[in-house]
């Protein structure tokens, strides 16, 4: 990304410390988005609409006399959304040698360790990753206040991480995770491998899930999750183990594979407790050459949320062409499908087309 720096780059001298640096960068998007849905034999035309978005990032870094580095970053777009978390799109770090501590709006260890299957291209509204077969590897990240603490250590081609997120009220178990990465280059072919494990309490608020499932046609509009699955609480014990492999060739071709198994159990005497193990598989391929980037991904869930017979899947396509100077044309498409055992199937698609700008 081409950066426009505040007063070029702000270098501030502190007594007893080395120089500090503040950088300002930004992105903007403009275009059109839309989509359709089909459920229970009916077709529904989604509303196409105009899309605009802008983000401004402030990144401040410094180094102490003893070699300790530190910094903070805030995304004003996220902070302005008022998402109810204490970090509001901000992240802090402290690092020394091969060890680093990140805290705030950052990835948990599993998300940090794994490669997603959207490998190339991009779209103004992330249409290619919004389908029901996509897994962003975040697991239970953000279920509490959104503040995550992650410690990472790198040794050569290997890296490891440990993370946690704590419920402010103290009512539920902390979410913790561990992840490992291996990244190496073999005669110009880059190979990456990641594996992670996360455990904690997942927040499945009834209002959130009912809104999502009825909107997607998984449940009749008059149903509730209690009616359908006899759920006694909106919190469930949760654990996931996941792994990914990705390869980038000299030719510009990229390939990736992602697999995860998640279990939803009772938290104390209540919880979802739906019994089945959710299984996920995703695959992606991408190509980048000169100004063109194309990415295609596919993913599917079996026994989604531990519900026996609930299957969701989807495809995503992104195409981007770099016009130079920080301006690119981007197009994205996503297709979602839902198969409910003994019920009505459902599918929907969404698209976007526009310009992405980086400053």
pTM: 0.82
Q: Which tokens is 96 given?
A: 């020394």
Better-scored residue on pLDDT, 214 or 240: 240
Q: What are phi and psi of 228, to 5 degrees?
A: -80, -40
Res. 145 pLDDT band, cuts 50 70 90: confident
Please report how many Cα atoms fall inside a 13 Å half-sphere around the Cα of residue 342, on the Cβ side.
Answer: 4
Domains of the chain: 10-358 (2.40.160.10)
**Over 90: is that where the pLDDT of 82 sits?**
no
Q: What are phi and psi of 251, to 5 degrees?
A: -75, -10
- What lies within 8 Å, CB to CB, of 165 at 6+ separation is 108, 140, 141, 142, 143, 144, 145, 146, 147, 148, 149, 174, 175, 176, 200
How confident is the model over 155-198, as pLDDT tens digits?
999 999 999 999 877 777 889 999 999 999 998 899 999 999 99
**Over 60: is that where the pLDDT of 9 sits?**
no
pLDDT, residue 2, reads 38
Single out the residue of 95, 74, 68 nearest to residue 22, CA to CA: 74
Asked whether the beta carbons of 49 and 24 are under 8 A apart, the reply is no
Report the alpha-carbon distance of residue 102 to residue 86 in Å, rounded: 15
Q: What are phi and psi of 357, to 5 degrees?
A: -120, 140
Q: Which residue has the tokens 């739906």?
A: 274
Mark 40-72 as b/e (b = at least 16 C-beta within 10 Å). eeeeeeeeeeebeeebbbbbbbbbeeeeeebbb
Residue 180 burial (CB count, 10 A): 16
pLDDT, residue 114, reads 97
Asked whether the beta carbons of 273 and 279 are under 8 A apart, the reply is no
Single out the residue of 270, 333, 327 nearest to residue 296, CA to CA: 333
- What lies within 8 Å, CB to CB, of 208 at 6+ separation is none
Q: What are phi and psi of 109, to 5 degrees?
A: -60, -35
Cα separation of the two ends of the chain = 7
Mean pLDDT of 293-314: 88
pLDDT, residue 169, reads 76
């Amino acid at each position: 990304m081409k950066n426009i720096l505040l007063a070029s780059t702000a270098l501030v001298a502190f007594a007893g410390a080395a120089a500090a640096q503040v950088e300002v960068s930004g992105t903007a998007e403009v275009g059109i988005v839309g989509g359709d849905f089909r459920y229970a034999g009916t077709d529904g035309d989604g509303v196409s609409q105009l899309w605009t978005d802008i983000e401004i990032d402030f990144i401040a870094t410094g180094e102490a006399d003893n070699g300790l580095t530190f910094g903070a970053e805030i995304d004003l777009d996220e902070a302005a959304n008022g998402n109810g978390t204490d970090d509001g799109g901000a992240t802090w770090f402290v690092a020394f040698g091969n060890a680093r501590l990140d805290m705030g709006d950052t990835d948990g260890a599993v998300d940090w360790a794994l490669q997603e299957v959207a490998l190339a291209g991009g779209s103004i509204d992330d249409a290619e990753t919004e389908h029901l077969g996509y897994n962003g590897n975040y697991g239970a990240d953000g279920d509490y206040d959104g503040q995550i603490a992650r410690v990472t250590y790198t040794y050569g081609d290997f890296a490891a991480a440990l993370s946690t997120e704590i419920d402010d009220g103290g009512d539920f178990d902390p979410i913790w995770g561990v992840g490992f990465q291996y990244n190496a280059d073999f005669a110009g072919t880059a190979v990456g491998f990641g594996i992670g494990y996360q455990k904690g309490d997942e927040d499945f608020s009834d209002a959130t899930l009912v809104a999502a499932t009825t909107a997607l046609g998984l449940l009749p509009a008059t149903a509730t999750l209690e009616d359908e699955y006899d759920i006694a609480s909106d919190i469930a014990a949760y654990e996931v183990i996941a792994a990914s492999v990705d390869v980038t060739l000299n030719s510009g071709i990229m390939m990736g594979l992602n697999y995860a198994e998640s279990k939803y159990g009772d938290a104390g005497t209540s919880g979802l407790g739906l019994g089945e193990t959710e299984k996920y598989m995703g695959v992606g391929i991408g190509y980048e050459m000169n100004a063109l980037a194309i990415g295609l991904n596919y993913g599917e869930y079996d026994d989604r949320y531990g519900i026996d017979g609930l299957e969701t899947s989807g495809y995503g396509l992104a195409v981007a062409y770099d016009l130079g100077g920080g301006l690119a044309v981007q197009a994205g498409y996503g297709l979602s499908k839902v198969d409910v055992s003994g019920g009505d199937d459902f599918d929907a698609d969404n698209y976007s087309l526009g310009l992405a700008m980086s400053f």
